[in-house]
A = this chain, B = another copy of it.
Amino acid sequence: MTYRAPVSEMLFALRHVAGLDAVLGDDLTADDARTILEEAARVADGVIAPLNRAGDRHGTPLRDGAVTTAPGWREAYRTWIDGGWNGLSADPDHGGQGLPLLLNAACTEMWNGASIAFGLCPLLTAGGIEALAQHGSEDLKARYLGKLVSGEWTATMNLTEPQAGSDLALLRSRAEPVGDGRYRIVGAKIYITYGEHDLADNIVHLVLARLKDAPAGTRGISLFLVPKVLPDGTLNDLRCSGIEHKLGIHGSPTCSMAFGDDGGAIGWLIGEENRGLACMFTMMNAARLGVGLQGVGIAERATQGALAYARERRQGRAPGAQGTSAIVEHADVQRMLLTMKAYTAAARGICYLTAAALDAARGAEGQAAHDRASLLTPVAKAFSTDIANEVTSLGVQVHGGMGFVEETGAAQHMRDARILGIYEGTNGIQAIDLVTRKLPLRDGATVRAQLASLRRVAEGLLKDADPAYGHMGARLRAGIEALDRATSFQLRALASNRPETALPGATPYLRLFGLVQGAACLAQGARAARAALQAGDTDPGHAGRIALARFFAENELTAAAGLADTVMDGGAFTETAALALVG
């Protein structure tokens, strides 16, 4: 088996965790939403997923400057853009369908569950669309947005240089005005995803570079649109100079790019001079949620594969069983599978909540929703991708020796997932962003409001007092208190201008946040499932949703208090790290 988009689970999370119903109405009914997801699933399952292995095997060879994707990929991409999927939530003014980002989030999960190497291409294009739509001149928008929204052309982010990865202040690429509104760009970039490929007729590179006499550091960086094919149909002065030999996502080319071998690639400024970083963050923030959804997608795929194998493979005898049992009957295998499934669902909930907040930010709620999305984005990115590593590794483990053999496919998921915690801002940087930039939003009121929303879920659980919940209510309440303690600690450290106290605990703080928020998402789902059962709904999934939420609370959320302790008194190491890291 490859991948089947879990449409019912997605729809359940969209409605009962992320609040899709708030945007439903005459324009978009619940039936419409299901129809859209089912259509997307047909493409993800039937067109993209079967190509994932071929992408891994074939790679993306570079010959004479041209990069070739695996057989079948061009046709699949064409089918995909012909279905209008690239512009699902883009502005109708630019040819998009204007549907909620929340629905697009579910579809993004599907494309990436089918193949993260494939799903990565439109993810970059989406970032480019966002940057161009928000910061581009009318002229640039008119020339490029339509083709990018349709997916006929794709976009890239050209940020990284060998000496400038997480630290963009070290950028050296140069830009010089030609005088007619155009610029000439010269420089070398690395790790450019889909920097060159054969899926589209044109590639729109968004390139960070410095103007002459620009201030040093990040305040002297500008963003340029540098197309592979110029408006007059000639090729621009840029080329793919190499392809990385990577651990995973072999189906997607990771390129070194050379701009301006022959004097300078032609580009146009996006936004203002020296304000490129702001544009870049627009592009990156959109992409960060997308990367979180990649994590959810591949975790889902790994879980499906492990579960199918565990049902089939017979070894040993479970207590009380007659004869050999399918390994899904063994408690330790069940623990692995439930862990995989629960973390996947928890991360899905967090990512969908983030998308819903972005939708709400466009509506009446405005700034508060925008801030909520800002708060949740680093958690959606880092937690979902951390657990993608864990879940895909468990997927290998469930397969036993077969998991280590490449033909099985479980190992590919683990290899593919490993990039997710690194690109679009490493997960360490997400944690720093969460603590130093997002917690202080509105003087802490944003995170306090989020904690209040979590408490409402816990109170609901305790009020229901359903025996099927087990210790879920108590565990969630304790988890929220742990998150509250750690949050107060971090806010105090920041308020008294002691970043050196807040930073050491950033990563365990983000984990704690994700764990508690994820548990609350599952618990909210459990409450909705219970209510549905009581209302006579016969969906066989409801009892499982309650059981899964309970599993997560009783087996994983137990880590919350320990994480809070680590945040609050674990930071002593920064004083002695140099000692402990000798030798």
Residues of A within 8 A of B (CB): 6, 8-9, 160, 163-167, 169-170, 190-191, 244-248, 307, 314-316, 319-320, 324, 328, 330-338, 341, 389, 393, 396-397, 400-401, 403-407, 411, 414-415, 418-419, 421-423, 426-428, 431-432, 470-471, 499-500, 503-504, 506-508, 540-541, 543-545, 547-548, 550-551, 554-556, 558-563, 565-566, 569-574, 576-577, 579-583
Contact = CB atoms under 8 A, between A and B. Distances in A.
25 contacts: A165-B400, A246-B404, A247-B414, A307-B581, A319-B500, A331-B504, A335-B504, A336-B428, A338-B580, A338-B581, A397-B426, A397-B428, A400-B426, A403-B422, A411-B418, A414-B418, A470-B569, A471-B569, A544-B576, A551-B570, A551-B572, A554-B569, A559-B559, A560-B562, A561-B562
B341 A580 contact: yes
Contacts of A548: 580
B415 A393 contact: no
Contacts of A506: 331-332
A499 B166 contact: no
Given A566-B558, A572-B554, A166 B316 contact: yes
Given A245-B405, A332-B428, A393-B418, A166 B338 contact: no
A426 B582 CA distance: 34
Contact of A582 (B319, B503, B541, B576): B541
Contacts of A403: 422
A202 to B, nearest CB: 26
Given A332-B504, A414-B418, 8 more contacts: A166-B316, A167-B315, A246-B406, A334-B574, A337-B581, A547-B580, A548-B580, A550-B576
Contact of A554 (B163, B307, B314, B566): B566
Contacts of A247: 396, 404-406, 411, 414-415
Contacts of A540: 582
- The 7 lowest CB-CB distance pairs between A and B, nearest first, are A547-B576, A332-B428, A167-B315, A558-B562, A547-B580, A247-B411, A555-B570
A331 B509 CA distance: 13
Contacts of A169: 324
B404 A544 contact: no
A185 to B, nearest CB: 22
Count of identical protomers in the assembly = 2
Contact of A574 (B331, B426, B543): B331
Contacts of A170: 315, 324
B422 A544 contact: no
A408 to B, nearest CB: 10
A581 B341 contact: yes
A565 B401 CA distance: 31
B418 A315 contact: no
A428 B327 CA distance: 12
A550 B572 contact: yes
Contacts of A571: 331
A333 to B, nearest CB: 7
A191 B580 contact: no
